[in-house]
Amino acid sequence: MSKTYKPHPDTTQKAHISSLEQYKKIYNESISNPEEFWAKIAERIDWYQPWNKVREYDFVNGKIEWFSNGKLNASYNCLDRHVNNGYGDETAIIWEGNDPNQSRTFTYKELLKEVSQFANGLKDLGVKKGDRVCLYMQMIPELAIAVLACARIGAVHSVVFGAFSSDALRDRINDSACKILVTQDTGVRGIKQNIPMKANADQAVLHTPSIEYVIVVKRTGEPVHMDVERDIWWHESISNVDDKCKPEEMDSEDPLFILYTSGSTGKPKGVVHSSAGYMIYSSYTFLNVFQYDEDDIYWCTADVGWITGHSYIVYGPLLCGATTLMFEGVPTYPNVSRFWDIVDKYKVNQFYTAPTAIRALQAHGLEPLENNSLDSLKVIGSVGEPINEEAWHWYHDNVGKGKCPLVDTWWQTETGGIMISALAGITPNKPAHASLPLPGIIPVIVDAEGNELNGNNVQGNLCIKSPWPSIIRTTYGDHERCISTYFSNYKGMYFTGDGVKRDHDGYLRILGRVDDVINVSGHRMGTAEVENAINEHEDVIESAVVGYPHDIKGEGIYAYVIVSTELNDDEIKDQIINVVRKVIGPIAKPDKIQIVSGLPKTRSGKIMR
């Protein structure tokens, strides 16, 4: 790799917090003078026009602005900026396919070209600034390209996780009235060779009046139905376009994307993120939590269908000019050492995964690790759910070989970036503790009455006191819901929905959700959402869903169901599972169903879970 480029401003040591003392100093500065603190960080990226106010907020009305009236573009800052700085030949994305012999790499220059072409393809189909584009794909490079192409032309992307059902896809498309749907012919994941993406998309768009065109990536070559009026192959959409595309000048507060997430009510909500604040916070936290350095190879195993993939596969790393690895497959295919084979193959330096994956691999013992050195690893990370101490130690000792700091990163779709975490190699690790807040973040522990619990050795609900740049801006189409969910429970604070304990050292330990949300393999699921799905079965009278401890998944889904049916228990249970698969997707299917004759109720008739 040529070394003739200018040192990159973002990935030099200067951009990092480099000691615990410095962290404490910077943290204090960020709290006593947030505007000055964030303004300095915001100067690291390129602006068409500077902002005139760093932040403005009113939590009562859920109104938050950062870098008001600034103009910038996310795709420009992820791509053109690095190419202009002489970084064009550096690797931006390494894509590792489901099959070990399939991989691709994209330099920053190449990625810029692909993104510009697809952006022009979208424009040719009439996509304009502010239009919503739905991306329903597996982990293929075109997903990252499409994300950045939307950002380039100011279209708002809404990525729908590729394992959601066609019903779930339809509802998400309709909620934000997407104009275009981008998908692929079929998908491959582990031993599954033909996941029917286009067929699911076809089902969904039967009832999505806003969709004008469906763009289809040819991933497997499996024949799929193409509607001549409506469907366009990705490769044809870019066959006659220019490979340059001028980035749209976006306002700091223009929405960058919508991402649906589950809450305590039945209907998932579209979390809206802004342009400037999101970019600044995701890139700042990426650099500091993982201590990313020039030439490092960074791998986050999440799916771009979730917020972790948005912030820490695509935007955070690319904004920093990093090399980010994107993996299409699963940890167990073609065998259970796949993760470790990939780490050695690319000499991965930072590895970021979920506790559920660790527990699943732990169950296979140490043998799958024996043929790999894992020498390249410098930092390992965890996200998505509390990591239990046993999994923490297994991961730390056997993957990190006892020498890599383990960053347990707590954050949410709504927070846009990591909020509470050790900084790798800087904050002393404590198993199962997310530890300390990032600069700019003021966690507060409150009791049920909203009293702040100060000092150490306290436990309660986790709130955040003043806004950070990537805080949720609204829930799409329903701002009242945003206010009532996040800003009404505790006056003047953002409510996270999580319980937390501050221990005798002042370290924070996340205790899990305190609302009706369960966390199954790191996937957030509303109990009401699963109940609604179960209740769609015509023989179901009523149901109650709760989480229960599950060795691998963290939480499993336990459904109590009242039925009126001629079928035997096994038959009705199978049918209920199929209904849930259809309404939400396989990730929501109950692990256990118990047929009951009644459910405990409160006096007002609410089910007591």
Output 141 or 384, the one with its CB closest to ligand 7RM.
384
Q: Which stretch binds ligand 7RM (CB under 6 A): 331-339, 405-413, 529-537, 567-575?
A: 405-413
* Cβ atoms of residues 591 and 557 within 8 Å: yes
Q: What x-and-dash track marks residues 258-297 binding ligand 7RM by CB under 6 A? A: ---x------------------------------------
Please say whether the beta carbons of 547 and 529 come within 8 A: no
Smallest distance from ligand 7RM to CB 486, Å: 12
Instruction: Point out which span in 99-107, 362-370, 377-385, 545-553 binds ligand 7RM (CB under 6 A).
Output: 377-385
* Nearest distance in Å: CB 306, ligand 7RM: 6
Q: Which stretch binds ligand 7RM (CB under 6 A): 147-155, 342-350, 496-504, 593-601?
A: 496-504
| Contact status: 384 vs ligand 7RM (CB under 6 A) | yes
What phi, psi does 150 have (nearest 5°)?
A: -60, -50
251: closest CA among 169, 181, 322, 156?
156
- Within 338-457, strands assigned E span 350-353, 379-383, 406-409, 443-446
If the CB atoms of residues 80 and 385 are measured against ligand 7RM, the closer one turns out to be: 385
Piece in contact with ligand 7RM (CB under 6 A), picked from 13-21, 46-54, 409-417, 581-589:
409-417
List 497, 554, 585, 590, residue binding ligand 7RM (CB under 6 A): 497
- Residue where the block lists tokens 């917090």: 17
Closer residue to ligand 7RM in complex, CB, 341/503: 503
Q: Which two tokens stand for residue 397?
A: 């000792």
The yes or no reply on residue 175 touching ligand 7RM (CB under 6 A) is: no
Residues 6+ apart with CB under 8 A from 359: 388, 391, 551, 552, 554
Judge contact between 5 and 87, C-beta under 8 A.
Answer: yes
**Cα–Cα distance measured from residue 216 to residue 193, given in angstroms and rounded to the nearest whole number:** 17
One symbol per residue from 422 to 451: x for binding ligand 7RM (CB under 6 A), - otherwise; what is it?
Answer: ------------x-----------------
Cβ partners under 8 Å of residue 258, min gap 6:
132, 156, 157, 158, 176, 270, 271, 272, 273, 476
Pairing relation of β-strands 474-475 and 508-513? unpaired
Site string for ligand 7RM, 246-265 (x = CB under 6 A): ---------------x----
Instruction: Check the CA dihedral 463-24-406-377 and report its sign.
Output: positive
Q: Cβ distance 108 to 92 under 8 Å?
A: yes
Residue 494, CA distances (Å) to 6, 70, 516 in order: 41, 25, 18
Q: At its nearest, how many Å lie between ligand 7RM and the CB of residue 148?
A: 21
What tokens were used for 295? 């030439």
- Minimum gap (Å) between residue 384 Cβ and ligand 7RM: 4
Question: Under the criterion CB under 6 A, does residue 469 sit at the interface with ligand 7RM?
Answer: no
Question: Residue 520 to residues 10, 267, 385, 592: CA-CA distances in angstroms?
Answer: 36, 18, 9, 13
Query: Of 98 and 382, which has the nearer Cβ to ligand 7RM?
Result: 382
Q: Can you tell me whether residue 571 is helix, strand or coil?
A: helix
Taking CB under 6 A as the criterion, the residue among 310, 513, 553, 589 binding ligand 7RM is 513
CA-to-CA dists, residue 12 to 57, 291, 292, 321, angstroms? 33, 10, 9, 11
Q: Min. distance of Cβ 327 from ligand 7RM in angstroms? A: 18
Of residues 117, 184, 274, 413, which one binds ligand 7RM by CB under 6 A? Answer: 413
Task: Examine residue 409 and tell whether it contacts ligand 7RM (CB under 6 A).
Answer: yes
Each residue 28-47 as x (binds ligand 7RM by CB under 6 A) or -, in order, gives: --------------------
Q: Does 510 bind ligand 7RM (CB under 6 A)?
A: yes
Q: Give whichever of 208 and 262 is closer to ligand 7RM, judged by the CB atom.
A: 262
Answer yes or no: are the C-beta atoms of 219 and 140 closer than 8 Å: yes
Helix (H) or strand (E) holding 113: helix 108-124
d(CA 379, CA 376): 9
Nearest approach, Cβ of 383 to ligand 7RM (angstroms)? Answer: 5
Nearer to ligand 7RM, 198 or 509 (CB): 509
How many of the chain's residues bind ligand 7RM (CB under 6 A)?
24
Residue 460 contacts ligand 7RM per CB under 6 A: no
* Least Cβ distance, residue 115 to ligand 7RM (angstroms): 25
Among 137, 182, 307, 360, binds ligand 7RM (CB under 6 A): 307
| Cα-only R_g, the chain | 23
Give the residue with the Cβ less far from ligand 7RM, 183 or 282. Answer: 282
CA distance 185 to 204: 15
Which residue from 585, 589, 581, 531 is spatially nearest to 561, judged by alpha carbons? Answer: 531
Residue placing its CB nearer to ligand 7RM in the complex, 302 or 572: 302
- Entry field: residues in the chain: 609
> How many CB atoms within 10 Å of residue 597?
6
Among the residue ranges 109-117, 249-257, 410-418, 471-479, the one whose residues contact ligand 7RM (CB under 6 A): 410-418
Which one, 105 or 264, has the nearer CB to ligand 7RM?
A: 264
Pick one of 408, 529, 531, 555: the residue that binds ligand 7RM (CB under 6 A): 408
Closest approach of Cβ 538 to ligand 7RM, in Å? Answer: 32
Tell me, letter by letter, the H, E, C secondary structure of 188-217: EECCEEEECHHHHHHHHHCCCCCCCEEEEE
Neighbouring C-beta atoms of residue 19, cutoff 10 Å: 12
Is residue 461 a contact point for ligand 7RM (CB under 6 A)? no
Query: How many C-beta atoms lie closer than 10 Å to residue 513's C-beta?
Result: 18
Residues 515-574 contacting ligand 7RM, CB under 6 A = 519, 524
Give yes or no for residue 412 binding ligand 7RM (CB under 6 A). Answer: yes
Instruction: Give the residues lining the site for ligand 7RM (CB under 6 A).
Output: 261, 306-308, 382-386, 408-413, 434, 496-498, 510, 512-513, 519, 524
